[in-house]
Amino acid sequence: MENSTGTIVITGASRGIGAATALMAAAEGYSVCVNYRVNDAAAEEVVNRIIAEGGRAIAVAADVAYEDAVSAMYDRVEDELGPVTALVNNAGILEPQGSFLDIDVDRLRRVIETNVVGAFVCAQEAVRRMSRSRGGSGGGIVNVSSVAARSGAPHEYIDYAASKGALDAMTAGLAREVAPDGIRVNLVRPGFIYTDMHADGGEPGRVDRLANGIPLQRGGEPDDVARAILWLLSDRADYAVGVSLDVTGGI
Ligand code: NAD
């Protein structure tokens, strides 16, 4: 087991890939902030599982797109768990599948607000606190993009794909900007992963429908992605900067 220490903030960690990453991070020795937006019970459940296994965790509600809420979250995490050394920008939303012309502007704004503005706000707050030039001790950030940034998700959700493309570009720039300050920024691109997100898109069985087209012949599990995220944050990846790591089974 990796002997990681420090404090990790994982956004949208009450379920899916975020929850899997929270549980695995705690098992590796991190103190974990389980960020969530509305589902108190689900976030507390993740925290209780971590504590039951001897780890440290707190659940903190904050909509990632709101600077004041995010700043207050980091303050609370630093008070209760210590300086933040890692951020996983995992929170993300998509809306029902449809064609390009189905994407009205309100929907587009909602998707960009969480997936792009939220990731920027959380990363800015992390950089303010981690930068060596600002008195911090450095750290790591992993952004959770998607294979949709490559495919564009035609006939499904081009808005979501575009928001993930924005994360790819943000990662490339931020990684190079803050590496001299001791912060490594990288990105994972999950493929088709078994989580409840596909029900939000209107097709709960989407991963099973697509599994035959995956070279590895199976859909991905949240743990498959969590392992990649935690590897990028670990010292084993200490020369990886601005990397986009596809975790897709080969698509
Ligand atoms: P999920 O819907 O289970 O989890 C997303 C979490 O983010 C939820 O807990 C949700 O409440 C939270 N969230 C949404 N808006 C938020 C906000 N404004 N503030 C705070 N939290 C918020 O989905 P998942 O599949 O676990 O997705 C996790 C990440 O992985 C997302 O960024 C998603 O785009 C990405 N991803 C998923 C897949 C997949 O196949 N499941 C594929 C590629 C990328």
Ligand 1 pocket check for 68: Cβ under 6 Å? no
3-state SS string over the chain?
A: CCCCCCEEEECCCCCHHHHHHHHHHHHCCCEEEEEECCCHHHHHHHHHHHHHCCCEEEEEECCCCCHHHHHHHHHHHHHHHCCEEEEEECCCCCCCCCCHHHCCHHHHHHHHHHHHHHHHHHHHHHHHHHCHHHCCCCEEEEEECCCHHHHCCCCCCHHHHHHHHHHHHHHHHHHHHHHHHCEEEEEEEECCECCCHHHHCCCCCHHHHHHHHCCCCCCECHHHHHHHHHHHHCHHHCCCCCCEEEECCCC
Ligand 1 pocket check for 91: Cβ under 6 Å? yes
- Nearest Cα residue to atom 29 of ligand 1: 90
Rounded to the nearest angstrom, the distance between the alpha carbon of 180 and the centre of ligand 1 is 30
Q: Would you state the pLDDT for residue 53?
A: 98
Ligand 1 pocket check for 21: Cβ under 6 Å? no
**Nearest atom within ligand 1 for CA of residue 91:** 7
Rounded to the nearest angstrom, the distance between the alpha carbon of 237 and the centre of ligand 1 is 24
What is the residue whose two structure tokens read 């002997």? 3
**Nearest atom within ligand 1 for CA of residue 65:** 18
Residues carrying an active site annotation: 160
The tens place of each residue's pLDDT in the chain, 251 residues long, gives 344 579 999 999 999 999 999 999 999 999 999 999 999 999 999 999 999 999 999 999 999 999 999 999 999 999 999 999 999 999 999 999 999 999 999 999 999 999 999 999 999 999 999 999 999 999 999 999 999 999 999 999 999 999 999 999 999 999 999 999 999 999 999 999 999 999 999 999 999 999 999 999 999 999 999 999 999 999 999 999 999 999 999 99
